[in-house]
Structure 1
Amino acid sequence: MSTAKTRIMYIEDKSESLDGPARIGRVTFSKSGRSIQYAGRTFQSLDGSGFKANYFDVESGDHFWISGPRKDGMDRLYGGSTPVEIDPDVAQEYWRDIRGRD
């Protein structure tokens, strides 16, 4: 019996602007690793064909930037001032293991 691989990731909505809503949350990878599940949504890789995005929502077609969170917290692809939400269920692990704070 195998367990699906999960990881804390940075997820930014690029469907309306370069500085879209963003959050840190736990995603689940498909067996092939080409799609990601998060918050009831499925994201498929754009395989390098995206413009300022690397995944799209299979239901809505909206484009997203999804990547591993950075230790320095500078996750936004093009900077920006909009705050990044952190899902409560990963907040402690994120601050401790990724950002190196207690």
Structure 2
Amino acid sequence: MPRRIMFVQLKTGFDTDRGPSWIGWVDFSKTWGTANFHGRTLRRAGGMFDANFYDIETSEEFWVSGPKRDRADTRYAPSDPEVEPEAAEAYAAFLDGAPLPGRENG
């Protein structure tokens, strides 16, 4: 499975861009249609307002995307995601200009 450091935000139950968010490792299926994060299985889906994945067990909606170097990961509100300890070193290097692991060539 491809593994990437991603920005993940819970959308269900929160005003736009106000849900909890994380920077952490996400494991994707070969087709990138399924993601595993925090013990949840998230499936990619279109047509949702402000989300691109949903939890297959709870139907909660999430926004999953690559982190932004300027930390503007949300569209409308300031974000202060929790950086998971396992991802902290690679994320700090990314903020300092290094490519994300697995994205060295684009």
| TM-score between both structures, scaled by the size of structure 2 | 0.84
Percent identity over the alignment is 36
| Aligned residue number for residue 95 of structure 2 | 99
Aligned mates of 1:16, 1:55 — CA distance in 2: 15
| Aligned residue number for residue 65 of structure 1 | 63
Aligned residues: 96
Give the unaligned 5+ runs of structure 1: none
- RMSD of equivalent CA atoms: 1.6
Give the unaligned 5+ runs of structure 2: 98-106
- Judge conservation of contact 2:6–2:67 (CA < 8 Å) in 1: yes
Aligned mates of 2:68, 2:78 — CA distance in 1: 15
Moved over 4 A (4+): none
Shift of 1:77: 2.9
Pick from 77, 87, 90 the counterpart of residue 87 of structure 2. Answer: 90
Shift of 1:80: 3.0
Aligned mates of 1:93, 1:56 — CA distance in 2: 26
Where in structure 2 are the equivalents of 1:23-102 lying within 5 Å? Answer: 23-46=22-45, 48-80=46-78, 83-96=80-93, 98-100=94-96
| TM-score between both structures, scaled by the size of structure 1 | 0.87
